[in-house]
Amino acid sequence: MLFSSTDSFSAIWQTLLHELHRGALDPKHPFRYLTVATVGEQFPQVRTVVMRQFTADLEFLAYTDVRSSKVRELLEVPRVSLLFYHPKKQVQVRVKALATIHVEDELAQEHWKRVPDKRRSEYQSKLDPATRIAAPAAGWESSSEHSYFSVLKFSPLSIEALQLAREGHLRIQYDLASGWQGVWLVP
C-alpha cells in the first residue's frame, strides 16, 4: 500500500511526490511509464510514454518526435490525462494537466544533450511516425542532419490517487486551485 486512511493529507502528498519522482529516476519503477490520453479527431487517443523528469514544479517531462500525432493533438487541445499504476502497491494515480511542446528551445536543447548517441536516431527518422512502410527496416532509416526531437511538458491541475485495499479502497485528490490541499473522495 502507498497510503492508508490514517495518514495525513500532507504525508500522503509527500509519498505521492516521492513515488512520482522515483518514477523519473528509476528505470524499473512502474511510474517510469505513464499513459497519456489526448483528444483525437474522432476518438480519444491513448499511448504510453517514458517519464524523463519530474520537476520541483511538479511538471512531468517526456520526449517525442515533433511530427507525431500526439503533438498535433496537443497543439489543437493541450489538455491531457496522465495515468500511472503501481501493481505491487496497488495504487492508481491520475493527473489532469496542460501540455506544452518544446522544440529547439532551451529546454529541448538541454534534454537533447541527455539523449545517448545510440538513441538519437529515434528522433531522426526520415519518415514521419506512423507512416506506412513495406518493411520494418524502412522505419529505421535516419538522417543525422536533422532532429525532430521535442520535449512534452505536462503541468498538472489535479492529481488523484486511488489506493486499492481489501479493507476498503481509498481515493484522494489534490489540485492546484486549492494550493495542493488534499480532499477525500468516494472511491
Segment 80-100, tens digit of pLDDT:
999 999 999 999 999 999 999
Checking if the pLDDT of 43 tops 80, the result is yes
Residue 108 falls inside a structural domain = yes
At residue 48, the pLDDT reads 97
**pLDDT by residue (tens digit) across 65-84?**
999 999 999 999 999 999 99
Checking if the pLDDT of 54 tops 90, the result is yes
Residue 126 falls inside a structural domain = yes
Residue 160 three-state SS: strand
With a CB cutoff of 8 Å and minimum separation 6, the contacts of 119 are: none
CA distance 73 to 68: 9
At residue 84, the pLDDT reads 98
pTM of the model: 0.94
Average pLDDT over all residues of the chain: 95
Mean pLDDT of 163-183: 97
70 or 140, which is more confident: 70
At residue 96, the pLDDT reads 98
Instruction: Give yes or no for a contact between 76 and 39, defined as CB atoms under 8 angstroms apart.
Output: yes
The CA-atom distances, in angstroms, between 65 and each of 109, 120, 150, 169 are: 14, 11, 6, 38
Mean pLDDT of 158-164: 98
Confidence band of 149 (pLDDT split at 50, 70, 90)? very high
Task: Print the domain residue range for 76.
Answer: 9-185
Q: How many domains does the chain have?
A: 1
For 148, half-sphere exposure in the C-beta direction (CA atoms, 13 angstrom radius) is 17
Checking if the pLDDT of 143 tops 80, the result is no
How large a percentage of the chain has pLDDT more than 70? 99
Residue 158 falls inside a structural domain = yes
147 or 156, which is more confident: 156
Residue 1 falls inside a structural domain = no
Confidence band of 141 (pLDDT split at 50, 70, 90)? confident
Grid cell for residue 167: 479493507
**Residue 147 belongs to a domain with what CATH number?**
2.30.110.10
CA distance 27 to 50: 9
AA identity, residue 80: V
Instruction: Give yes or no for a contact between 112 and 94, defined as CB atoms under 8 angstroms apart.
Output: no
Residue 114 three-state SS: coil
At residue 92, the pLDDT reads 98
At residue 11, the pLDDT reads 98
- Give the DSSP H or E segment for 21: helix 9-25
With a CB cutoff of 8 Å and minimum separation 6, the contacts of 81 are: 36, 37, 94, 95, 96, 97
Residue 4 falls inside a structural domain = no
